[in-house]
Amino acid sequence: MESQTMDQLKKELPVEQETLVLSDDVKTGLVLVDIVNGFCTVGAGNLAPVAPDKQISGMVDESVRLAKMFCEKKWPIYALLDSHHPDIPEHPYPPHCIAGSDESKLVPALQWLEDEPNVTLRCKDCIDGFLGSIDKDGSNVFVDWVKTNQIKVILVVGICTDICVLDFVCSALSARTRRILTPLEDVIVYSPACATFDLPLHVAQNIKGALAHPQELMHHVGLYMAKGRGAKVASEVLFDIPVEI
């Protein structure tokens, strides 16, 4: 029944995806959204998976692959890290990713990024990483990153597809429309390098105030909403590597 529901959803709400080929000709930046222990590492916190999760593991693996290629090419990377003040709750979620804790750190497979010169790390204290990039003086670290690096395309990956990834993408698209992110042209979501959490209905019913959140369905909805707002969605990312003659 669950499989039939997903098949029907994808039939009624199709998400056209493309193959993206990256080259030196178009300045591209990679945005990593919340690939931290608190959302990805088994047992790491209130919002971490309680058991190994294929979709989340696949997202991490693909993000690592992209990060390595971007660093090899010295292309810019912007990594958002969920990081909250212990006295400021983020409703409706339980306490998570408290600033300075292991939960708010990059997953072990990506912690090497902290020492890479082409990487900008940004701790954020809200769902939307675009808003979370605003400093006290009103400047925006993400906007400055785009402008400084003259980025025309951002490739967005991370977790959760339908929450933090989607909110960031929607804000970036609106900022692009308002010419705040010039010279940015395209916002691309890479679906295999995105993931969300799984909270089946029968589990949610036993948690006060919880909403059911079936993983595959909500992942698809997140991609569909991003596409509807103007983002492109890629199912494959390749690198155009020049052949030396």
DSSP class of 165 = I
The model's pTM is 0.95
Per residue in 208-240, pLDDT tens?
877 888 999 999 999 999 999 999 999 999 998
Please give the domain boundaries of the chain with CATH numbers for all domains: 21-239 (3.40.50.850)
Per residue in 83-122, pLDDT tens?
999 989 888 888 899 999 999 999 999 999 999 999 999 9
Per residue in 125-170, pLDDT tens?
999 999 999 999 999 999 999 999 999 999 999 999 999 999 999 9
Q: Vertex 59, ends 228 and 162: CA angle to 5°?
A: 30
